[in-house]
Chain A
Amino acid sequence: MSSAAKEFLRNAAIKSADLAHRQTLRRNIDHYDAAIERARPRFLDWQAGRQRCHEIKWEAINHLDRYLLEFEERVRARGGHVFWAETAEDARRYITDLAARNGVRTIVKSKSMVGEEVHLTAALEEKGFRVLDTDLGEFIVQLRHEPPYHIVTPAMHLTRAQIAALFKEKLGGDGGDDPQKLVAVARRVLRKDFFSAEMGITGVNFLVADSGMVAITTNEGNDRLGTALPRIHVAITGIEKIVPRLADLALFWPMLANSGTGQSVTCYNSLIGGPRAPGELDGPEEFHVVLLDNGRSELLADAEQRDVLHCIRCGACLNVCPVFRTIGGHTYGATYSGPIGSVLMPHLLDGKKFDHLPFASSLCGACTDACPVKIDLHHHLLHERRNIVGAGEQPWSERMAFKLWRWMMMSAGRFEFLGWAGRAALRLAYGLGLEGSPLDPLRPWTKVHRAPRIPKRSFRALWKEQHGAD
């Protein structure tokens, strides 16, 4: 078992027992669920909409080579730069070098999960740059020295009171938990950095091929300040974020907003296609797009799981996932948590240490039903389990257990006899009061359950008795 797997088990045990944490999540997610339900009727036909989204992303991903080049050509034509980062290290180096070359001191960053994926902030801070997260949720978790808890709502695990206490301690807030006042505190702190920063880093929600633009969605407008004021704008994203046409956003914007937060459309949707053009009043002097691969093209080669690249990072699968709601985002120890994380992380470079994640699911399928681009999430967990087992890295004892089980089940006679023997042993053990003790043959089960009542006779024995053999 990898050390990441051990840590996952340890943290999962802690969070599973943390009732307050579970209640906070339930409350926060219920709030979103209610909003989604209210907003969904705005779609004439949501199911048809997600089918259309699925088809558009299918087209985009299956012609990724063409659409990405189209995007690049158009950005370059407007004087922007496009950098193809094969690895996380490539992306970090490009951006740190760019900042160093331009004498940057302060960087304002709006939300970017790809930034998290490549550990961009740490790399920049190590080189002496000051990096400020300007998304309110990110700002909060940065103050707590934590990674984002959730890909859309980074501070979902916190209550208003906890945030108020944090602001009081770190920023001199008055400790009141009125949301408007809390936002005002963050705004006061952030505003002056927007004016002094030399570089703005943003994520990207969609790369639009036919117009060569990046589409950025936020609820706080922090991306606009972060791209309009600093001299350099760097947009960093994964190669899969492409959509073919500008017109596709007419569907994707509301789909993303509705699935993620239950809004009809997110508050601020920006399209940026290049640096400030002659005669324009604002915008950066330099515009860079960093396109990250980091294992994605290997996933593209996997016809079975390729649709994982359809993901628009709305977070819907996390919110509906009963495992996520029990163990929370940080337990995964991964940039992307929840169902999408469990199918995506093992495919990223250095993803092998996440091979336990596809197994940490009850396969309930709520994620697949919630996904607005119809990724076959819970079936991909099955596919990934098969791939991992096929690579032969499961413990010998488990492999043997399944071989034995198969041998037993290939014959009704063996099954009947061994079933009888097993039940007799259990009845004896429980008769002796061994239930739940270390000698309990069902120990892994009875650690958390009362043992089932063990019947004397099996169905097939009872049936034979009542109906004779057939």
Chain B
Amino acid sequence: MKKVAMFIPCFVDQLTPEVGLDMARVLHRIGFQTEFPSAQTCCGQPAFNSGYWPDARPLAEHFVRVFHGAEAVVCPSGSCATMVRNFYPELLAGTPLFDEAVNLGRRVFEFSEFLVNVAKVSDVGASFPHRVAYHDACHALRELHLKREPRELLRHVRGIEFVEMPYSEDCCGFGGTFATKFSMISSAMGDTKAGNAEASGAEYLTSTDPSCLLHIDGILRRRKSAVRTIHLAGILAQTADSAGRASGESR
């Protein structure tokens, strides 16, 4: 299998396009051809998580149709991959697309999961001479059970100094609409996360999930923190030659 379809989450498309471009760069480098089915929009998770299942369902059906023919689908977000793999079967239970959704779920992979477990590549030839801490995004960790994969990729990056941050498995507090409905709780959780990132002494905080990073980054910058955020794909996209001009940094 040498061709993969990219599932670019809606907010990555609009707010952090560099994450998608970085993922494509890494996939190319290790020999994959990437395609972007441009009819894709959103997997439906915001509505699903907020309880609006009848509004989420047509989007799930749309997604299943768009990626129908793809052999493998790679996504730079554990949360959106979880939506398809773990929640579509529940959302589409009893509908004509159920079987196809279950099947597609088995072919949708989070980016680090795809690299390590499917492509069997741990060293993507990246170079990132910085001190980096990793935040375990909840869906990647607890729904997809990805703990080892992103760390294995980071350990193979040249020049990197990988540090474990305290309480790396604690939720950052984003939680989709939770972050606006209960912003005081969400931001307090984010503050705790930001404090732990600072305590790790890292220059960069990375993760599999751009939504966590968007939230943590907004809080780190409000704190005028020295810690910056970067998506895992942003680190893996950088090579010794490209140093300094890769795109994935938060600012």
Contact = CB atoms under 8 A, between A and B. Distances in A.
B189 A323 contact: yes
A405 B55 contact: yes
Given A385-B51, A409-B59, A451-B218, A365 B184 contact: no
Scoring A326, A388, A451 by chain B CB atoms within 10 A of each residue's CB, the highest score goes to: A326
Interface in B76-110: none
A444 interface: yes
Contacts of A464: 38
B41 interface: yes
B163 to A, nearest CB: 20
Interface stretch (A36-44, A58-66, A97-105, A356-364): A356-364
Contacts of A245: none
B186 A453 contact: no
B188 A410 contact: no
Contact of B218 (A409, A444, A445, A470): A445
B187 A412 contact: no
B178 A360 contact: yes
Given A362-B174, A366-B142, A452-B218, A390 B185 contact: no
B21 A16 contact: no
Nearest to B20: A459
A422 B14 contact: yes
A17 B51 contact: no
Contacts of A423: 14
Contacts of A412: 38-41
A322 B42 contact: no
A369 interface: yes
A323 B185 contact: yes
Contacts of B21: 459, 462-463
Secondary structure dominating the interface of B: helix
Given A386-B51, A410-B59, A322 B171 contact: yes
A438 interface: no
Nearest to A26: B192
B35 interface: yes
Interface string A437-469: 000000011111111111101111111100101
A462 B174 CA distance: 27
B161 interface: no
Contacts of A9: 182, 184
A327 interface: yes
B142 A365 contact: yes
B173 A322 contact: yes
Contacts, number: 196
A430 interface: no
A359 B186 CA distance: 12
Contact of B35 (A447, A459, A470): A470
A419 B17 CA distance: 13
B61 to A, nearest CB: 10
Nearest to B40: A412
Nearest to B15: A452
A93 B218 CA distance: 54
A316 to B, nearest CB: 15
Interface in B153-211: 169-171, 173-176, 178-190, 192
Contacts of A451: 218
Contact of A405 (B47, B170, B218): B47
Interface in A173-198: none
A410 B39 CA distance: 9
Interface string A379-412: 0001001111110001000110011011011111
B235 interface: no
A415 interface: yes
B10 interface: yes
B185 to A, nearest CB: 5
B142 A364 contact: yes
Contacts of B185: 12, 16, 323, 326-327, 360
A460 B13 contact: yes
Contact of B189 (A322, A457, A470): A322
Nearest to B219: A449
B161 to A, nearest CB: 26
A13 interface: yes
Contacts of B52: 389, 399, 402
A459 B192 contact: no
A33 B21 CA distance: 41
B214 A452 contact: yes
Contacts of B47: 402, 405-406
Contacts of B8: 459-460
A365 B138 contact: yes
Nearest to A399: B52
Given A368-B142, A410-B41, A360 B182 contact: yes
B222 interface: yes
Given A450-B221, A459-B8, A405 B46 contact: yes
Contacts of A411: 41
A50 interface: no
Contacts of B183: 444-445, 447-448
B204 to A, nearest CB: 16
A332 to B, nearest CB: 12
A463 B175 contact: no
Given A362-B138, A450-B221, A409 B36 contact: no
Contacts of B53: 386, 389-390
Scoring B14, B35, B49, B218 by chain A CB atoms within 10 A of each residue's CB, the highest score goes to: B14
Interface of B: 8, 10, 12-18, 20-21, 24, 35-42, 44, 46-53, 55-56, 58-59, 62, 138-139, 142-143, 169-171, 173-176, 178-190, 192, 214-215, 217-219, 221-222, 250-251
Given A22-B192, A360-B185, 18 more contacts: A16-B184, A16-B188, A322-B192, A359-B51, A363-B175, A368-B142, A402-B52, A403-B55, A409-B10, A409-B62, A412-B39, A444-B180, A449-B190, A451-B218, A453-B251, A458-B14, A459-B12, A460-B8
6 contacts: A12-B185, A359-B178, A386-B51, A402-B52, A452-B217, A455-B15
Closest 7 CB pairs of A and B: A449-B218, A362-B175, A385-B51, A389-B51, A364-B171, A448-B187, A459-B17
